[in-house]
Amino acid sequence: MGSRRPTWLLGPALLIGSLGPLTPLAHGAEAAVPASPIQAPALASLDPITGPRSRLGRDWIGTRPVDPDTPILVLAGHADSQGMNGAGTSGAAVAAGAPPMYPGISDELYWNMVVAEAVVTLGQQRGLRISSYRPPFRTIPDGNHPSTNWSVGRQHAASGGYALEIHFDAWGPDGIGSGLIPPLHRPFGSLDESLAVAFGGFPMAFRGGLGGPRRGIALLEVGKLEGQLERSLRNPATRSATVMAIAERIVTALEVGLGRSPATAMPLSPPPGGVGSAPPGKGLQASSADE
């Protein structure tokens, strides 16, 4: 699991350099996961940075301890499914007529990659065993091909690591909001719980069990790609602060889940620079409900 960077990824990857220093502001059988006898406590329904949280009840709690040196693999959701069903949401801005952030890929994949890169860079600075994987092709129709996120993430999880795939949820009524969709290959652990506390959580069997979680991959929906969150990402004046606020929250949640002392507190309010200060965009009917 390396960090090859195909030519088609260089554009989004270069954005990371423009954000400035990243400093604190085996294919085994899938184990059955017993249902939690209690429901996790509800969190605030609206986050100042990522917008609405999942409105679905979280029916699980992660109590299994996780080794502090657990290797973490970060994946950009939809990196292998462009130009086909499951390419990820366009985002409200593109649906309203704005140009895509990068030609040939969905805006969701663009931001998935940017956030994944920021999380890995910041996590490595904090001393975590964290790395990323990028498929060699942007379109791999066979989900079980050995080069897909699913296959590489499944192998990483089966070997004892934690695989985390970054996503942004669909905009409009098809989207639900931020939250963790937990992996289903073993009992829920402290990493799952910490991410769910930071972003909210989805039911364990969301949509009958998605392909990633059934393969042991945790899916983190950062937020719906619309409104204040999307405007803050697209606005050059607030982009860096927004990406870093998201990355900081994810890395801090990982540190807490690993039993480490986080370097900084999880951001609870918009970062300096006016997240959401870009003018509001137009709204259209949602068109994507991809995982």
Cβ contact 159:227 at 8 Å: no
* Architecture of the structural domain at 7-17+63-257: 3-Layer(aba) Sandwich (3.40)
Q: Do the strands 46-47 and 51-52 form a parallel or antiparallel pair, or are they unpaired?
A: antiparallel
The per-residue pLDDT for range 47-67, each reduced to its tens digit, is 889 988 988 888 899 999 999
Residue 86: the pLDDT is 86
Residue 267: the pLDDT is 41
pTM: predicted TM-score of the whole model, two decimal places:
0.79
The identity of residue 74, as a single letter, is V
Q: Is the pLDDT of residue 199 over 90?
A: yes
Q: Where are the beta strands (DSSP E) in the chain?
A: 46-47, 51-52, 72-76, 130-133, 162-169, 179-181, 217-224
Q: How many other C-beta atoms lie within 10 A of the C-beta of residue 262?
A: 17
Q: What confidence tier does 42 reach under pLDDT thresholds 50, 70, 90?
A: low
